[in-house]
């Protein structure tokens, strides 16, 4: 399956278990790996046979910067559901949500979760 990658999208969201996270907010990064057949688009040079990267960004932004969730797992699930709803050519998606500054002690670059969903899961 062909893929479109959109990496390291940065957003400000209010997701987390702790009241400070919901009040102050924090950075989130999202990586997407989108599966679809790109042959029709590549042969015709027709954007309607692919997925607009800008629309992918805006769809993801709407979720991450919208309603606050306790779990980044829920954020990732909502992103996948909205992508399938918005882009009928999408066959599968890998969604990775990074939380670089969670309020937990220790030294690390970030914590992240990753989910894979396919249209056949619906």
Q: List, for residues 11-40, the tens digit of each pLDDT value.
A: 999 999 999 999 999 999 999 999 999 999
CB 80 within 8 A of CB 117: yes
Chain centroid, CA 113 distance in Å: 11
For the chain, the domain total comes to 1
Does the annotation mark 99 as catalytic?
Answer: yes
The range of the structural domain enclosing residue 54 comes to: 2-121
pTM reported for the whole predicted model: 0.94
Helix axis angle for 72-86 and 53-64, nearest 10°, is 140
* Cα–Cα distance, 91 to 80 (Å, whole number): 11
In the structure, what pLDDT confidence band is assigned to residue 121 with cuts at 50, 70 and 90? confident
pLDDT at 122: 61
Report the mean per-residue pLDDT for the chain.
Answer: 96
Q: What is the CATH number of the domain that holds 117?
A: 3.30.1130.10
According to DSSP, the β-strands at 92-99 and 111-118 are antiparallel
């Amino acid at each position: 399956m062909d893929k479109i990658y959109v990496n390291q999208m940065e957003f400000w969201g209010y997701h987390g278990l702790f009241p400070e996270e919901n009040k102050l907010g924090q950075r989130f990064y999202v990586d997407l790996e989108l599966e679809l057949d790109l042959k029709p688009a590549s042969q015709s040079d027709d954007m309607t046979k692919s997925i607009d990267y800008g629309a992918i960004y805006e769809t993801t932004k709407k979720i991450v910067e919208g309603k606050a969730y306790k779990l980044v797992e829920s954020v990732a699930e909502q992103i996948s559901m909205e992508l399938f709803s918005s882009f009928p050519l999408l066959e599968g998606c890998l969604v990775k949500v990074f939380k670089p500054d969670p309020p937990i002690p220790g030294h690390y670059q970030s914590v992240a979760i990753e989910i894979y969903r396919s249209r056949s899961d619906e």
